Amino acid sequence: MGIRTGKAYIEGLRRRRPEVWLHGRRISDVTAEPLFQQPMREVARLYDLQHDPAHQPHITHVAADTGERVSNAFLRPASLEDLRARRALFETWARATYGLMGRSPDFLNVTLTAFASNAWFFERLNPEWAERLLAYYRYVRDGDLFLTHAIINPQNDRSRASHQQADPYLHLGVVRETPEGLVVRGAKMLATLAPLTDEVLVYPFPGLRPGDEPYALAFAVPIDAPGLRIVCRESVQPARLSAFDHPLAARFEEMDAILVFHDVLVPWSRVFLYGNVEAANALYPETGLWQQPAHQTAVRGLEKLTLVTAVAVKLAESIGIDGFLNVQEQLGELIEGVEAIRALLDSAETHWEKTPWGEARPAAHPLETIRGLMPRLYPRAVEVLQTLGAGGLLLSPTEGDFAHPELAADLDHY
C-alpha cells in the first residue's frame, strides 16, 4: 500500500474497536470521542504531508523491494545521506506540530526500523525471531501503520523483581504457551496516544533479573486485540478547549494510557523475543536501540525550543522591550540554547557511526548531551517567556470577549 493519507488513517481507526476507557466511560468509537478528535486530525494532517508535492520527495522514498513509496521513518540508514533524509521527515512533522507531539508515528516507526537494522541480534538468538521481526517491519512499513509502545511496569513495588511481586501477573508476563502463540497477562505503560494507534509494540526495558524469564518479552499485537484493555489517564484539557485561547493545548494533547492484558493471545508470528533474560537486558546496549529514536527526539526538541524562543523574541519586539539590556540578555540566552542544540544535532549526524552490520547511527555523545540539556533549556525558555509577558499573559481576554461586538473595538485598540 505504501504511504497512506490522513483519510485512510481515520478510516482505519473507525474500523477498529479497541477497548478504551476514559474518565470511567467506555469509548465505543474513538473517532467520535470529542477529546480525541483534534489530536486525531493533527496526526491525519501529518500523513497528508506525505502526499504534498512540496514535501513528498524529501520525507518519503521508494522501497527497493516493492517499488512503493514509503515514509523515511522506515529508511534503514547506511550513510550520512540516509540520516539526513530521515531528519527531513523529523523536521517536517515536528514543525507541523511545533515539536509538541512526542509520539507522532515517526517515533515508533524509527524504533521498529532500528530493530530491523539489527536483526542480527535476534538471528543470533533464534533465527525465527529475526524472520518474524523483519516480516513485521515490512508489514508496518507497507501499511504505513501508527504504533504505540508499552515498556514500563506499573508503579508497584519497585524494590522487587517481576517474579517476586505478590501477584505474578502484576507485570506483563506469559501465562502459558499454546500451539497458536503465547497467552500473556499483566500491565504495561505508558502507551502514548494508544487509542489513536493501529498496533502496540512491547519490548523489555533493561533491569530484568534471573527468574524473570516469563517477563522477558518482545512482541506486537493490534491495538484492538481481544483481551487488551486501554485505560486512559485524566485528560489535561476540556473536550472543547478554544484554539483561539489555547492554540497549542487545544490541538496537541497526547493521551497516555496503561495497557492491561487479560490473557491476550500473541501469535507466534508476532513473538520476537521470549524467555531469555540476558538477551532482554542486552537489547538496548547491543543494538544501540536508543540512538535512532533519540535522533527523532532531538529534532523535535529543537523545534519545540525554537518555538518558545521565537515567541519570546516576538513578544519583546511587540511591546517594545527588546532594546533593554536585561531583556536582550534573556533572549540571547534562549537563542544560545537553540543554536547549541542545533550544533549538537549537526555533530551527531556529521560524526555518525557505522556498525559492523552496515547500520549508520548518529553519534551517541552529542545525542546524550542534547538529552541532558533539553530538560533545563526548555523550562528556562518558558520561564523567560512568562517573565517577559508578565501581566499581559495573565490578563489576556478570551475568544468570547474578542468576538463580542461591544468589546471587540476596545480590545483591538488596547
> Helix, strand, or coil here: 26?
strand
Written as one string, the DSSP assignment of 117-178 is HTHHHHHHH-HHHHHHHHHHHHHHHHHT--EEE--B--SS-TTS-GGGSSSTTSB-EEEEE-
Q: How far apart are CA 128 and CA 206, in angstroms?
A: 23
> Helix, strand, or coil here: 358?
coil
> What pLDDT does 98 receive?
96
Residue 144 sits at the vertex; the CA angle it makes with 142 and 150, to the nearest 5 degrees, is: 115
Closest CA to 46 of 107, 1, 120: 107
- Ramachandran region of residue 222, left (φ > 0), alpha (ψ -120 to 50) or beta? beta
> Helix, strand, or coil here: 260?
strand
> What pLDDT does 278 receive?
96
From the number of C-beta atoms within 10 Å of its C-beta (0-12, 13-18, 19+), residue 245 rates as middle
Classify strands 19-22 and 228-232 as parallel, antiparallel or unpaired. parallel
Per-run averaged pLDDT (10 residues), the chain, 414 residues: 95 96 96 95 98 98 96 98 98 97 96 96 97 98 98 89 92 97 96 98 94 97 98 87 90 95 98 97 89 96 98 97 97 98 98 96 97 97 96 90 95 92
Q: What is the pTM of this model?
A: 0.95
